[in-house]
Amino acid sequence: MTDPSDHADLEHDPNDPDGTRGHAGASVTVPTTIVCVDCGGTCHLLTAPFDDGVGPVGFRPGDIVSYRCADCLDRWDVELDESDVN
Ligand SMILES: [Zn+2]
Protein backbone atom coordinates (compact mmCIF):
# COMPACT_ATOMS: atom_id res chain seq x y z
CA MET A 1 0.00 0.00 0.00
CA THR A 2 1.43 3.30 -1.02
CA ASP A 3 0.51 6.81 -0.13
CA PRO A 4 1.58 9.37 -2.74
CA SER A 5 2.09 12.06 -0.11
CA ASP A 6 4.63 9.89 1.74
CA HIS A 7 6.62 9.51 -1.46
CA ALA A 8 6.55 13.26 -2.05
CA ASP A 9 7.90 13.87 1.44
CA LEU A 10 10.86 11.59 0.74
CA GLU A 11 11.58 13.39 -2.50
CA HIS A 12 11.82 16.69 -0.67
CA ASP A 13 13.78 15.60 2.39
CA PRO A 14 16.55 18.22 2.65
CA ASN A 15 18.55 15.93 4.92
CA ASP A 16 18.66 13.04 2.49
CA PRO A 17 22.41 12.35 2.03
CA ASP A 18 21.79 10.75 -1.33
CA GLY A 19 19.20 13.32 -2.18
CA THR A 20 18.46 15.33 -5.23
CA ARG A 21 20.20 18.53 -4.17
CA GLY A 22 22.02 19.95 -7.14
CA HIS A 23 19.85 18.15 -9.65
CA ALA A 24 18.74 21.53 -10.95
CA GLY A 25 22.35 22.42 -11.71
CA ALA A 26 25.08 23.92 -9.62
CA SER A 27 24.62 27.51 -8.65
CA VAL A 28 26.99 30.20 -9.88
CA THR A 29 27.49 33.34 -7.87
CA VAL A 30 28.25 36.43 -9.92
CA PRO A 31 29.32 39.89 -8.74
CA THR A 32 26.63 42.57 -8.80
CA THR A 33 29.10 45.01 -10.31
CA ILE A 34 32.18 44.73 -12.50
CA VAL A 35 34.74 47.28 -13.67
CA CYS A 36 34.16 48.58 -17.19
CA VAL A 37 36.87 47.42 -19.56
CA ASP A 38 36.50 50.57 -21.64
CA CYS A 39 36.35 53.44 -19.18
CA GLY A 40 37.02 51.95 -15.76
CA GLY A 41 33.53 52.86 -14.58
CA THR A 42 31.16 50.64 -12.66
CA CYS A 43 28.96 48.22 -14.57
CA HIS A 44 25.83 47.10 -12.79
CA LEU A 45 24.24 43.68 -13.15
CA LEU A 46 21.11 43.78 -15.30
CA THR A 47 20.17 40.13 -15.20
CA ALA A 48 18.08 38.80 -12.33
CA PRO A 49 19.02 35.42 -10.86
CA PHE A 50 16.63 32.59 -11.62
CA ASP A 51 14.39 31.38 -8.85
CA ASP A 52 12.29 28.44 -9.95
CA GLY A 53 11.56 27.35 -6.40
CA VAL A 54 13.81 24.30 -6.76
CA GLY A 55 17.37 24.26 -5.51
CA PRO A 56 19.51 27.31 -4.90
CA VAL A 57 18.72 30.72 -6.28
CA GLY A 58 21.39 32.05 -8.58
CA PHE A 59 22.81 31.43 -12.01
CA ARG A 60 23.82 28.29 -13.85
CA PRO A 61 26.77 27.55 -16.11
CA GLY A 62 25.86 28.58 -19.63
CA ASP A 63 23.74 31.51 -18.50
CA ILE A 64 24.46 34.91 -20.01
CA VAL A 65 24.54 37.75 -17.51
CA SER A 66 24.50 41.34 -18.70
CA TYR A 67 26.06 44.43 -17.18
CA ARG A 68 25.50 48.08 -18.04
CA CYS A 69 28.22 50.65 -17.47
CA ALA A 70 27.01 53.64 -15.49
CA ASP A 71 29.56 55.92 -17.13
CA CYS A 72 29.75 55.05 -20.84
CA LEU A 73 26.54 52.99 -20.98
CA ASP A 74 28.27 50.11 -22.71
CA ARG A 75 26.67 46.75 -22.22
CA TRP A 76 28.74 43.70 -21.35
CA ASP A 77 27.47 40.15 -21.73
CA VAL A 78 29.30 37.51 -19.75
CA GLU A 79 28.75 33.80 -20.31
CA LEU A 80 29.14 31.68 -17.21
CA ASP A 81 30.87 28.33 -17.30
CA GLU A 82 31.72 25.49 -14.94
CA SER A 83 34.76 27.35 -13.64
CA ASP A 84 32.42 29.95 -12.15
CA VAL A 85 30.68 27.39 -9.96
CA ASN A 86 31.52 27.84 -6.31
ZN1 LIG B 1 32.25 52.23 -19.25
Q: Are the CB atoms for 76 and 67 separated by under 8 Å? A: yes
Extract the runs of DSSP E, i.e. beta strands, from 1-74. Answer: 33-35, 42-45, 64-69
What is the chain's alpha carbon radius of gyration, rounded to the nearest angstrom? Answer: 18
Distance from the alpha carbon of residue 48 to the mean position of ligand 1, in angstroms: 21
Distance from the alpha carbon of residue 78 to the mean position of ligand 1, in angstroms: 15
Distance from the alpha carbon of residue 19 to the mean position of ligand 1, in angstroms: 44
Residue 14: predicted pLDDT: 54
Distance from the alpha carbon of residue 31 to the mean position of ligand 1, in angstroms: 16
51 pLDDT tier (thresholds 50, 70, 90): confident
Which candidate, 51, 46, 81, places its Cα nearest to that of 63? 81
Distance from the alpha carbon of residue 34 to the mean position of ligand 1, in angstroms: 10
Residue 23: predicted pLDDT: 46
- Domain ranges for the chain, please list them: 33-86
Distance from the alpha carbon of residue 75 to the mean position of ligand 1, in angstroms: 8
19-38 in b/e form (b: 16+ CB < 10 A) is: eeeeeebebbebeeebebee
